[in-house]
A and B are shown apart, each in its own frame.
Chain A
């Protein structure tokens, strides 16, 4: 008799027995003391049991699938490394994509791991807690496999060796750091909207796909395999983010305006973060997948658009920033690359002027903007470089108080005018890069006055190599930035003439000729 009962358990009942039936309401301590974080943001949850599990994976199945994936992944990495796989990439310029990726991505995956661990502790529903814990442990996988896949490149090329040190110090990495610091210091529901939904759902395709496809297009089997191997994890993470939004919206109508504000905020913050993905796609990949503009249209306008149509039944409207992002898709990748080119002494990756062929590709892909606004700048910079007058901007940048991007984006509707906004808080002036960042600032000024902006901090003596005495009489702040960053001189500046360029050419020769 009993035998039949057990066999008849459906997947849903079985999973429930394996997760939420394990939980109980505590009696020695109040539930609000055990889970103290889920009320202060104003989100109202009446019944945690209404949470629909976005996937039903028990640990035994998880270990089975994941260990199969890991076994294959590491076998491929070992083979790739053993056979000098780094020499099979299209062109040594590609390796700069990996430098950008290593500095910007694994550290953020790590923050996702820690953040989802916190969610896996703090959510007081058993369903979301288990789902968050699984994402946390997946995120450990992701930052570790990413580091492992790039580790071998680090042995041969410059600019990757100090990523761990640079993650909290490098000026251009502080946009990503502020993004995750912002999310993790918010309450648990905002974190879920920020990372689970905006980052992992709305923007993941345009974050993740270009890097991995870029690796595949450019002969980097190591990074490609890591990406493909993470795909099924990412699919799970997307369903979690979406379920979380739906759950909040179904629980109480009062949640809608809060969730909408978060969606607006985090879609914009994510968009700002994507400027560097854009320049990677349009400028750094020797063999391009598609333009950033095309990717934006496909992944954000079309896919994102239909997602928001789907959420309209809950009262969610398309994020406020959407129309501005559509205008900016024709500009940001060019503005970013030119911005980085102009700072040759401040990044651990190389820059270069696109070849004439590549410029033609950009003209074709950006018929409305490239020839008019950006080709003339690049050609001028090229001329100056060839005349021995390479442009070098040595001044500290001005940064947005919210997204920490350097001020380089144009005024909406006017590509020739740089966009600045400012707010006054407690008698002090704060600068932002856009209407959307200004709105984020004005909503929570007490949070955003804290932003660590290295171009300000350096003047206060807070960006000096360890052990520097800032109190000596003739102390001049910011004289030792390369040491503070641990930035290898060989990694700086132009690709043309770099050690990477020479070594790659010589090693490829050695590997392919007698």
Chain B
């Protein structure tokens, strides 16, 4: 049964802002995501050229090889404006907090078999630096990307990666092992297993095309790294020792599942805009996918030993399938 509450009803003069009505093709109410995103970045009448890169305008479409008829077509399917994003992350952190508390209260970390712990920590802990690099590279995309649709999504993803770096750090702390964090940093800086991955991340720190950085970091690298570690490696540890690491990396797994939707949608829309984009995206994906495989194989070997190649092959197939689904033929 419906309860019919009454309010004083006043007929509005208009339903939304002019730029949104023109965009939607009708004067109708716009969602908070649309209001917070569309057509807000200045595009004209800039006063000055950047002293740091005078060849460009403050916001400049030519900072990437990708071209778009409408940069706001790169919408976020999650519809994350700040409020929606922070509420979603607020829920995830609450769950993560519960997991960390539970592990602590029940002494699950202390009870974890020593062999498993060593095996796990040497794979997980250097990843805090990878996430830190990802934070920086996504900050590049949010700084120089064109339009608020992409800049805000990249900004949130960048902060997410700072969160991931901190969760991985807390994972080290949950095992009460500050030495292992120091060892992991030494391995990251000097260990042969991490050499190529660090090169990959650092190469992106000097890459100037922001869209290429996005493809290389978010699609190629994270598209292989996250399933490799936070899915496959966790499954392996779960089977051998119990699910503690799966609990303490739940944030990363959920983040990846969710962020993939955004990334795939960006690829699909950019590729659909024109044939040059499609070809460029395919070229970038192939190039960076192959480099990511080189970068990740030693890490996969650390995690999976002799099975590493087989696992990587399968993940590459999955990544190719994601590209194909986004309409990018490799």
Residues on A lying within 8 angstroms of B by beta carbon are: 2-3, 5-6, 9, 17-18, 21-24, 26-29, 33-34, 36-37, 40, 58-60, 62-64, 66-68, 70-71, 73-74, 82-84, 106-107, 110-111, 113-114, 117-118, 120-122, 129-130, 133-134, 136-137, 140-141, 143-145, 147-148, 151, 154-158, 160-165, 167-169, 174, 177-178, 181-182, 184-187, 404, 447, 450-452, 454, 457, 486, 503, 507, 510-511
Instruction: Pick the most buried of A17, A29, A63, A187: most chain B CB atoms within 10 A of its CB.
Output: A63
Q: Specify the chain B residue showing the minimal Cβ separation from A24.
A: B189
Top 3 A-B residue pairs of the complex, sorted by shortest distance between their CB atoms = A67-B90, A59-B163, A155-B12
Instruction: Pick the most buried of B51, B91, B151: most chain A CB atoms within 10 A of its CB.
Output: B51
Q: A447, B14: Cβ atoms under 8 Å? A: no
Q: B139, A29: Cβ atoms under 8 Å? A: no
Q: B142, A117: Cβ atoms under 8 Å? A: yes
Contacts A18-B169, A137-B156, A155-B12 given: A181-B44 contact, CB under 8 Å?
no
Contacts A151-B35, A156-B12 given: A18-B166 contact, CB under 8 Å?
yes
Q: B14, A140: Cβ atoms under 8 Å? A: no
B320 within 8 A of A: no
Q: List, sorted by A's number, 21 A–B pairs whose CB atoms are closer than 8 Å.
A: A3-B110, A21-B181, A22-B128, A28-B202, A36-B52, A59-B93, A60-B166, A62-B159, A83-B7, A84-B10, A107-B42, A133-B139, A140-B81, A144-B32, A144-B81, A148-B35, A165-B18, A165-B39, A184-B58, A185-B51, A450-B48
Q: B40, A164: Cβ atoms under 8 Å? A: yes
Contacts A18-B169, A184-B50 given: A84-B8 contact, CB under 8 Å?
yes
Instruction: Pick the most buried of B13, B97, B189: most chain A CB atoms within 10 A of its CB.
Output: B13
Q: Can you add 17 more A-B contacts, CB < 8 Å, to A136-B142, A161-B14? A: A2-B177, A18-B166, A22-B165, A63-B93, A71-B87, A113-B152, A117-B139, A133-B158, A140-B152, A156-B13, A158-B13, A168-B43, A174-B47, A181-B48, A486-B18, A507-B10, A510-B8
Q: Specify the chain A residue showing the minimal Cβ separation from B83.
A: A70
Residues on B lying within 8 angstroms of A by beta carbon are: 7-8, 10, 12-19, 32, 35-36, 39-52, 58-59, 81-83, 86-87, 89-94, 96-97, 110, 128-129, 131-132, 135-136, 139-140, 142-144, 148, 151-152, 155-156, 158-160, 162-163, 165-167, 169, 173, 175-179, 181, 185, 188-189, 198-199, 202-203, 205-206
For the complex, what is the distance from the CA of A121 to the CA of B155, rounded to whole Å?
A: 11
Within 8 Å CB of B165, what residues of A? 18, 22
Q: B155, A63: Cβ atoms under 8 Å? A: no
Q: A133, B87: Cβ atoms under 8 Å? A: no
For the complex, what is the distance from the CA of A130 to the CA of B139, rounded to whole Å?
A: 10
Q: A147, B13: Cβ atoms under 8 Å? A: no
Partner of B47, one of A129, A130, A156, A452: A452
Q: Specify the chain A residue showing the minimal Cβ separation from B107.
A: A3
Q: A145, B83: Cβ atoms under 8 Å? A: yes
Partner of A118, one of B48, B143, B167: B143
Within 8 Å CB of A451, what residues of B? 47-48
Q: B51, A114: Cβ atoms under 8 Å? A: no
Contacts A33-B206, A511-B8 given: A40-B82 contact, CB under 8 Å?
no
Contacts A70-B86, A164-B39, A167-B42 given: A6-B51 contact, CB under 8 Å?
no
Partner of B17, one of A114, A154, A185: A154
Q: Specify the chain A residue showing the minimal Cβ separation from B43.
A: A168
B162 to chain A, nearest CB (A): 5
For the complex, what is the distance from the CA of A454 to the CA of B47, rounded to whole Å?
A: 11
Instruction: Pick the most buried of B39, B86, B92, B132: most chain A CB atoms within 10 A of its CB.
Output: B86
For the complex, what is the distance from the CA of A12 to the CA of B205, rounded to whole Å?
A: 28
Within 8 Å CB of B97, what residues of A? 60
Instruction: Pick the most buried of A33, A66, A106, A186: most chain B CB atoms within 10 A of its CB.
Output: A66
Contacts A33-B206, A58-B166, A121-B136 given: A144-B83 contact, CB under 8 Å?
yes
Within 8 Å CB of B8, what residues of A? 84, 510-511
Within 8 Å CB of A187, what residues of B? 51-52
Partner of A452, one of B10, B45, B158, B178: B45
Within 8 Å CB of B10, what residues of A? 84, 156, 507, 510-511
For the complex, what is the distance from the CA of A509 to the CA of B159, rounded to whole Å?
A: 49
Within 8 Å CB of B82, what residues of A? 70, 137, 140-141, 144-145
B316 to chain A, nearest CB (A): 24
Partner of A161, one of B17, B176, B178, B181: B17
Within 8 Å CB of A178, what residues of B? 47
Q: B50, A185: Cβ atoms under 8 Å? A: yes
Instruction: Pick the most buried of B39, B40, B129: most chain A CB atoms within 10 A of its CB.
Output: B40
For the complex, what is the distance from the CA of A144 to the CA of B160, rounded to whole Å?
A: 19
Q: B181, A110: Cβ atoms under 8 Å? A: no
Partner of B176, one of A2, A133, A156, A168: A2
Contacts A70-B83, A117-B142, A144-B81 given: A59-B7 contact, CB under 8 Å?
no
A12 to chain B, nearest CB (A): 15
Q: B87, A181: Cβ atoms under 8 Å? A: no
Q: Specify the chain A residue showing the minimal Cβ separation from B142.
A: A117
Partner of B19, one of A136, A165, A184: A165
For the complex, what is the distance from the CA of A37 to the CA of B51, rounded to whole Å?
A: 10
For the complex, what is the distance from the CA of A147 to the CA of B82, rounded to whole Å?
A: 12
Partner of A136, one of B47, B93, B155, B189: B155
Q: A168, B202: Cβ atoms under 8 Å? A: no
Q: B14, A66: Cβ atoms under 8 Å? A: no
For the complex, what is the distance from the CA of A9 to the CA of B157, rounded to whole Å?
A: 29
Partner of A143, one of B19, B40, B45, B94: B40
Q: B155, A113: Cβ atoms under 8 Å? A: yes
For the complex, what is the distance from the CA of A468 to the CA of B144, rounded to whole Å?
A: 31
Within 8 Å CB of A121, what residues of B? 136, 139-140, 143
Q: A29, B13: Cβ atoms under 8 Å? A: no
Q: Specify the chain A residue showing the minimal Cβ separation from B177.
A: A2
Within 8 Å CB of B47, what residues of A? 174, 177-178, 181-182, 185, 404, 450-452
For the complex, what is the distance from the CA of A162 to the CA of B14, rounded to whole Å?
A: 12
Q: A22, B155: Cβ atoms under 8 Å? A: no
For the complex, what is the distance from the CA of A36 to the CA of B175, rounded to whole Å?
A: 38
B196 to chain A, nearest CB (A): 10
A65 to chain B, nearest CB (A): 9
Within 8 Å CB of B86, what residues of A? 63, 66-67, 70, 141
Q: A29, B203: Cβ atoms under 8 Å? A: yes
For the complex, what is the distance from the CA of A326 to the CA of B206, rounded to whole Å?
A: 48
Q: B16, A154: Cβ atoms under 8 Å? A: yes
Q: Specify the chain A residue showing the minimal Cβ separation from B190.
A: A27
Q: Specify the chain A residue showing the minimal Cβ separation from B91.
A: A67
A278 to chain B, nearest CB (A): 23
Q: Specify the chain A residue showing the minimal Cβ separation from B50.
A: A185
Partner of A40, one of B14, B45, B52, B156: B52
For the complex, what is the distance from the CA of A116 to the CA of B91, rounded to whole Å?
A: 26
For the complex, what is the distance from the CA of A2 to the CA of B110, rounded to whole Å?
A: 10
Within 8 Å CB of A454, what residues of B? 45
Partner of A2, one of B12, B83, B151, B178: B178
Q: A17, B203: Cβ atoms under 8 Å? A: no
Q: B19, A137: Cβ atoms under 8 Å? A: no
